[in-house]
A and B are shown apart, each in its own frame.
Chain A
Amino acid sequence: MSLTQIRQGSLVLVDAARVQSRGAFYVAQSRIRQMMTWIWLILGIAIANPILYLISVGIGLGGLIDKSVGPAGVDGVKYLTFLAPALLAQAAIQGTMDETVFPTIEGFKWHKTFYSMNATPLSGAQISYGVFLTALFRAFYTVVLYFGVMWAFGALESPRAWLAIPTAVFAGASFGALMQALAARLEDENIFFVVLGRFVMMPLFMFSGTFFPLTSMPFFLQWIGWISPLWHATELGRNLTYGHPISPTMMWVHFVFLGVMLVVGLYFSARIFTKRLAK
């Protein structure tokens, strides 16, 4: 019924410098703990999603396409093999989206947990990085599971196909960082979700060369692919899983695009977190 008789006090106990170097990991640890409360749902979706997609679109629709294009294939391979790397990158993007946007709105608005974190030695930037690290973790295991299903479906041709795991996570990271910055600015999230779902996520998914090569689109629509992290990651994934040709220049373009998006997203997210918490 009482506190410890010997009170040491925070002046003895707390080392602010320690938090300054590890704060983002403390935030990530607690976020992951929260994620664990519904981990079975996340894992279930992470496994069911590729199985259903690869069966219905990859094999079902793919069977029709493979029949009509003949032995030349799509981009030289079975439709399933062509489609799978795009879905892999999409899974990473969806994973980071869910794990950046919702926790950010929750932290600022729904439960205001970021304010309680910020009442400790944690800074706004550390909270931002911690949320992001958690999203990265989620993207990673989602992609690994997806990759396993792709392997089981025989959608991998190249021995270095596993490198598509980090490139997919990279795309998820880039998009997630930017979305986190956007979500941190939101006062009213309802409109945001409608706009994001219908006018951002859907077009990106459909027009990023996911289901057919970007070059088969009318020229005036190809820009959507160029600004989409999904397309850049898909190109890299196709190169890695079945040897889709990419020039060295384009290889650079893909990496630099995703890299710039990541850095810009992280920078603004940290800045907006800091400012909003200091109001």
Chain B
Amino acid sequence: MSNPLISARGLTKKFGDFTAVNGIDFDVYKGESFGFLGPNGAGKSTAMRIIGATSQRTSGTISILGKDPELHGPQIRAHLGVVPQQDNLDMQLSVAENLYIYGRYFGLSRKFVKGKVNELLAFAQLEEKRDAKVETLSGGMKRRLTIARALVSEPEILMLDEPTTGLDPQARHILWDRLFRLKEQGVTLLITTHFMDEAEQLCDRLIVMDKGSIMAEGSPASLIKNYATKEVLELRFGSDRNQEMGAKLRTMCERIEELPDRVLMYTEDGEALLEKIYSADLHPKTSLVRRSSLEDVFLRLTGRTLIE
């Protein structure tokens, strides 16, 4: 493989006594879609701000496009498109103006930016809102505008911090579709998320983070293969009985997780296991066989669920 676009070794960030990012190593290559998966407070956003060449690291090394962000912040930022967790749009300006002024911040010519604005409005499906003030937009529209804004300079790397948090399912799917298109054009994507479905949909490769450290790294499929079984049987016995039943079921499968609301049994064949359970005269209130997901990987690695 060629040289990585981003390469971090022992990357650490402390705020006083609190260690937000604790000595992480990773490489991101051109054209790939790289994810940081972890719960809120795992250190994903902090890592993103360091990669974004705005926040300064406490220790470790990092190189982005071959440069050290501490020394060449503006030169690196010239090639990044940043979508922060919170939309920080200019509320008093119109949709088109927001895109226009942002293009100017990159020193792009007026002519180029004007053309680009039209293109981005179409991309973000905001053509009808061109002259509307940002204040009047819905959450999904604001998010699309923030993403469009990050694309005004045709960045080499697009960084998205929790791109679909707070959006309804339809708005999420529109966004995912847009991100796929960018990936097809060869844009390197960096995504943080605490949604496992988003990570599975969008990421070629990801790191699972918890409490500032990396717990595992790989493609969604390989992580699932390495840290979970093929299938999961979800059983509900009622919240007061889940624990008690869990103890009885433990010997029947490879691994079991007892959550407050349900019991998860990890197995290669969910249906067969369920039959065994019925024949053992145990009767769950509901049962569900599904494929393992990144959620199960996270549970295995940390003993906790992603969204608590």
A16-B74, A26-B107, A120-B106 in contact; A10/B79 too (CB < 8 A)?
yes
For window 99-113 of chain A, which residues contact chain B by CB distance below 8 Å? Answer: 111-113
- The number of residues on chain A lying at the interface, defined by a beta carbon within 8 Å of a beta carbon of chain B, is 40
| Size bracket of the B interface | 35 or more
Contact of A16 among B75, B122, B149 (CB under 8 A): B75
Instruction: Give the complex CA separation of A229 and B77 in angstroms.
Output: 39
CB <8 Å contact, B153 and A13: yes
A117 at the interface (CB under 8 A from B): yes
With contacts A11-B79, A14-B107, A19-B78 taken as known, whether A30 is within 8 angstroms of B90 at the C-beta atoms is: yes
A121 within 8 A of B: yes
State whether A119 touches B107 (Cβ < 8 A). no
- Report the bound CA distance from A22 to B89 in whole Å: 22
Query: CB distance B90 to A34 under 8 Å?
Result: yes
B102 touching A13, Cβ below 8 Å = no
Q: Does B104 lie at the interface of the complex (its beta carbon under 8 Å from any beta carbon of A)?
A: yes
Q: Is the interface of A mostly helix, strand, loop or mixed?
A: helix
CB-defined interface of B128-151 with A at 8 Å, one 1/0 digit per residue? Answer: 000000000000000000000101
Q: Is the CB of A118 within 8 A of B54?
A: yes
Q: How far is the CA of A116 from the CA of B123 in the complex (A)?
A: 21
Chain B residues lying within 8 Å of A3, measured Cβ to Cβ, are: 119-120, 123, 151, 181-182, 185
Residue interface bits A188-228, CB-to-B below 8 A is 1, else 0: 00000000000000000000000000000000000000000
- Would you give the shortest CB distance from B48 to chain A, in whole angstroms? 11
* Residue ID in chain A nearest B112 by CB atoms: A13
Q: Which residues of A contact B181 (CB under 8 A)?
A: 2-3
Nearest chain A residue, comparing its CB with the CB of B120: A3
Contact B123 A9 (CB under 8 A): no
Q: A2-B123, A3-B119 are in contact. Are A30 and B104 (CB under 8 A)?
A: yes
Contact A22 B107 (CB under 8 A): yes
Tell me the B179-208 residues at the A interface (CB within 8 Å): 181-182, 185-186
Cβ-defined contact, A121 with B77, below 8 A? yes
9 contacts between A and B (CB under 8 A): A3-B185, A7-B154, A10-B154, A13-B108, A13-B112, A14-B79, A14-B153, A116-B89, A116-B102
Q: What 4 pairs between A and B have smallest CB-CB spacing? A: A119-B82, A30-B101, A120-B105, A18-B107
